[in-house]
Amino acid sequence: MTIVGKFVISLDFELVWGLFDHADIYRREHIFLETQRVVPQVLNLAVGNEVRITWATVGMLMLNDWDDWDQQAQELDGLKPGYNNERLSPYRFGQFARQKMSADCFFSPEHVRAIVSAPGQELATHTFSHYYCLEPGQTVEHFRADLQLAQNIAQRFDSRLSSLVFPRNQFQPEYLAACHSAGIAKVRTNPGVWYWTAPQLNSLAAKAVRTADAYLPFRSKAYSDQLISQQAGVTLEPASRFLRPHSRWTAANWARLQRVKAEMTDAARRGLIYHLWWHPHNFGRYPVESMATLKMIFRWYHQLRDEFGMQSATMQEVQRPRFPGQIVV
């Protein structure tokens, strides 16, 4: 059997729910409003270029409005995550933030409907509340209730969530059984290098190396299908690279793009997997430049598809190999 490379993209679709605990959140309103305009552009570009994307979406973002949000919060009935650090609670934040920012920073059900109806796109979950699995005060029971609520909301869009991305990459192996019981078959894990371990406990050294790795020619982050593993009935699919936001420095943007293209080429030539991810709001500050970069990445994928047979795949479509060296789609 011919081994072909796989190009996987997953997006952490969050809007304000992914950054609400930052002190300067209210000064970022324009970024989230711009994100609402960028998401359809990314979706249309992907469909037009036959690129498949997994959209890991926060469940709160899928709600209609604040009345809907209040009703769904009541559904948890005492099972909200009880973080010791109250600033991490989206339920606490939502009670006063609704008066200070546009509702478009919080809700986007029309984009979810567009994702579901678009060919080749997978609606996945980023948990209902952008849940932090490694923060003190929450429990696996809270997590299980959060995932079930996310599944309930997905039913509004005639969807069943089967892939998950842990918010802030706070991967918690002990919670995989709860994922499995909630119908989750795939989970994106962190890149298999030391400076992506336990991201909530970042050292300055880890942050520095992660930044440098985005621009300098370290080893390729494309990986063999043999690194796809399984625990508690859930398949663990590593990410390769975070597509860093557009920089004001032209040289940095050029180096970032060359890094991605080189790793894509490595995956295509050697029949490996290359899993790129970012947040749609990363395109909110420089939307024109960010979309131009994405077009170049998609154009490069087309060249690799034509020359090496590289295939675009969602998280759900990449399966564990049944035989050594075999990638099954």
**Residue 174, exposed/middle/buried by CB under 10 A (0-12, 13-18, 19+)?**
exposed
pLDDT of residue 191: 76
Q: What is each CA distance from 215 to 124, 206, 219, 252, 294, in whole angstroms?
A: 29, 15, 12, 7, 17
What residues pair up with 186 in beta bridges, in sequence order? 163, 235
DSSP state of 137: T
Residues 6+ apart with CB under 8 A from 27: none
pLDDT of residue 230: 94
pLDDT tens track, the chain, 329 positions: 568 999 999 999 999 999 999 878 999 999 999 999 999 999 999 999 999 999 999 999 999 999 999 999 998 988 999 999 999 999 999 999 999 999 999 999 999 999 999 999 999 999 999 999 999 999 999 999 999 999 999 999 999 999 999 999 888 888 999 999 999 999 999 876 644 565 555 666 656 666 656 555 667 889 999 999 999 999 999 999 999 999 999 999 999 999 999 999 999 999 999 999 999 999 999 999 999 999 999 999 999 999 999 999 999 999 765 544 444 43
pLDDT of residue 306: 98
State the Cα–Cα distance between residues 8 and 234, nearest whole angstrom. Answer: 18
Residue 117: CB atoms within 10 A of its CB come to 11
Give this prediction's pTM: 0.93
